[in-house]
A = this chain, B = another copy of it.
Amino acid sequence: MNYRIDNLQYCKWSREVFQINREAGLDAVHVTLVYHEDYDEFLIRTNEWKKHFSENSDLIFLGKNYKDIEKAKNENKTAIFFGFQNCSPIEDDINLFEKVYEHGCRFMQLTYNNQSLLATGCYEKNDSGVTNFGKEAIKEMNKLGIVIDMSHSAEKSTFDAIDISQKPIAITHANPSFWHSALRNKSNALLKVLGDSGGMLGLSLYAHHLKDSSNCKLENFCEMAAKTCEIMGVKNVGIGSDLCLNQPNSVVEWMRNGTWAKKKNYGEGSKSKPGFPKQPDWFVDARGFKNLEIGLKKVGFSQEEVNGILGDNWFNFYKGIN
């Protein structure tokens, strides 16, 4: 195998972005469909994607399971897998999981920074773990084949999710906090349990998750990848770049604020740096996968291990979803 998978992007989608992902050789991308949208707004997003699929059928198609990644590779296309960064389209209705699954949803975060009906986000002061509704939700997601994604969740909630879920879960886009301390990054203890349970971490290339932010060095990133693999196993680490290509700053403001406060929240940014941060120059877009390949080899990974991190590990994880 030699798949290339980016397991988290939220770009301003266009033919240009799909072409870049093809140039990068990506066989699959897990794309974020919704943050704060409710069920009806989610349906609007799926309609927007129907248009993307029909206008760019030479580049992309909707992925339903791992076989579509094989198909994409054979056809020189990118399989697009739908995911949610919050559970808001589920509203308060367990029956909507089946509906969103039918529309293609394969990954869902139980929370986005704040408390949700299912679990606690990493920006809350206290973390009560997976809720009553959350336990029912996990059961339903396991049954359908929607991956539990805890990228933006608080720690106890994540431990709970690993424990409750009958299938391995994912943290699609985050880094270890030993390398760069941030509310969004994860502790060694959590990463170890995640790895031991067959779960995956997608390393993030988003500057706020990187040591030295936009000035992060490729070598340093790859050294971090090596240490992370020591903690959680070389087969449990992949990439979830968190690329937000061409998105205006109004989008990151909306991500952080939704409609839950009248005052403005800066999230990982600050009043002086409210917008999207600059990407490091070796990962401006997914074509940076080539640099990662070079960098990972340089820090001692074998070609097979590099292939694992850049896609094959995610491919194997996808095999277990259904």
Q: Is A117 interfacial (CB 8 A cutoff)?
A: yes
Smallest Cβ distance from A37 to chain B, in angstroms?
Answer: 10
Q: Does A230 contact B (CB under 8 A)?
A: no
Jot down 11 A-B pairs with beta carbons below 8 A, ordered by A.
A93-B260, A94-B260, A114-B131, A114-B132, A115-B115, A115-B131, A115-B133, A125-B128, A127-B128, A136-B263, A140-B262
Query: Which of A115, A127, A258 has most chain B Cβ within 10 Å?
Result: A115
Residues of chain A from 82 to 96 with CB closer than 8 A to chain B in the complex: 88, 91-95
A94 in contact with B124 (CB, 8 Å): no
* B132 touching A259, Cβ below 8 Å: no
Q: Would you call A175 an interface residue if the criterion is a C-beta within 8 Å of the partner chain's C-beta atoms?
A: no
A259 CB → nearest B CB, Å: 4
A36 to B117, CA, bound (A): 13
Q: Indicate whether A261 sits within 8 Å of B133 (C-beta atoms), given known contacts A115-B117, A116-B117, A117-B116.
A: yes
Number of interface residues of A (CB under 8 A): 32
Is A126 positioned at the interface, with any CB of B under 8 Å from its CB?
Answer: yes
Closest approach, in angstroms, between the C-beta of A119 and any C-beta of chain B?
9
A38 within 8 A of partner (CB) = yes
Query: Are the CB atoms of A124 and B115 closer together than 8 Å?
Result: no
Q: Which 7 A-B pairs have the closest CB atoms?
A: A128-B128, A126-B128, A115-B131, A93-B259, A133-B260, A136-B261, A114-B132
Which residues of the partner chain B approach A115 to less than 8 Å between Cβ atoms? 115, 117, 128, 131-134
Complex: A117 Cα to B36 Cα, angstroms: 13
Which residue on chain B has the smallest CB distance to residue A262?
B94
Measured CB to CB, the closest approach of chain B to A118, in angstroms, equals 8
Mark A111-148 against chain B: 1 for CB-CB distance below 8 A, else 0: 00011110010011111110111101000100000000
Residues of B within 8 A of A91 (CB): 38, 91
Distance from A255 Cβ to chain B, minimum over Cβ atoms (Å)? 13
Considering the chains assembled together, what is the distance between the CA atoms of A43 and B129 in angstroms? 33
Cross-chain contact B128 with A262 (CB below 8 angstroms): no
Chain B's closest residue to A259 (CB) is: B93
Q: Contacts of A136 on B, CB cut-off 8 Å?
A: 260-263
Query: In whole angstroms, how far apart are the Cα atoms of A132 and B123 in the complex?
Result: 8
Picked from B93, B94, B125, B259, the residue with its CB within 8 Å of the CB of A94 is B259
Interface members, chain A 213-227 (any B CB < 8 Å): none
Which A residues, 9 to 46, have Cβ-Cβ distances below 8 Å to chain B? 36, 38
List residues of chain B with CB within 8 A of the CB of A262.
94, 136, 140
A127 to chain B, nearest CB (A): 6
